[in-house]
Amino acid sequence: MRRSIVLAAALLVTAPAVHAQEAFSYVLTGGAQGEVTLRREGDGLRLTGRIDGRDLDLRGERRGDGWRFVVPGTPGLAGALAGRQAAGPRELFVRRAPGDVLEGRLEGGGAGQVTLRGARRQAPVVPAECAPVRDRWWSRHGVATWELGRSLWDFFKPGSRRLEELRGPMSMADARGLRTRLERLPAPWTPETIYAEARAMTSSPREALQLAFALSIDHLDLPLAPLPGVDPREPLFDKYAHFFASAILAHRGNATGSFTVGWLKEVMDELSGGEYSDADLMADALGAEFGQRLQCGD
């Protein structure tokens, strides 16, 4: 007998409508474990993510005030070799509770009922098209020059904390708090994941970037995902520090100024007997783009 898992996601009637380009992710911490994302697709709803170790990518249909997903099940290789049959269908009923909480229960299939509860992740929503005023043709170079001058002053003024200036008011305790939040999530962590959790702890995108930067220089043992274009054998904690440092500079100026500061640092490193690193510059470029896009909102 073929096993299937039936999932039905029911949102509160009073909850805001989910548009086609919007997605809401929930970290499951009660009963079933994992993370799921719900996204509107026309008249349907797509559920992606992972529940209790199983990857899901499903399209559901509305049933009353909820949604129903069917997941084909198998007994697995070990179960098949042992002659076990698939369990019957299971149903997962979910509702969006106050406070951006997802609640529900998983039942059926000859197994006991499993409750489910998850908190919504505050992921950044970056517009696909972003053309901030500080990067227009008539302002780009002026802003970049201003950012370069400001950075040099910040790093070399009397009593400067050098790169620590970029963390702003974020303390080591703040960074530890961010790490605690991240440890609830599957690893490895991407810059977007780190920023999303930092944003949930702060009042502005700038503070979130400062907190993410503080984490990257205070904790050198994080399970980090490789950056595009950067050799994964590179020390990733250093590349993430470059990423978020450049993102801060780009957010307060523009990507051109941020990357110029990063390039100048590499030149100064080489002149002082150090190494000019293309990998550092790639991380700088990625961070600069990320920070500039956040000028359009998050």
Burial environment of residue 40 by CB neighbours within 10 A (0 to 12, 13 to 18, 19 or more): middle
- pTM for this structure? 0.61
- Give the percent of the chain with pLDDT over 90: 47
More confident residue, 19 or 120: 120
Helical packing angle, 205-218 and 191-201, nearest 10°: 120
Residue 110: what pLDDT? 62
Q: What are the residue ranges spanned by the domains of the chain? A: 3-121, 133-296
* DSSP one-letter code for 162: G
Q: Provide mean pLDDT across the span 241-266.
A: 96
Choosing among 2.60.40, 2.40.128, 3.40.1710, 2.40.50, the CATH entry for 3-121 is 2.40.128
Q: What own/partner pairs with CB < 8 Å and gap ≥ 24 does 92-96 have?
A: 92/5, 92/6, 92/7, 92/8, 92/9, 92/116, 93/8, 93/10, 93/66, 94/7, 94/8, 94/9, 94/10, 94/66, 95/10, 95/11, 95/12, 95/66, 96/11, 96/12, 96/15
Provide the pLDDT confidence category of residue 74 given band limits of 50, 70 and 90: low
Q: How many residues appear in the chain?
A: 298
Residue 30: what pLDDT? 73
How many Å apart are CA 178 and CA 197, to the nearest integer? 7
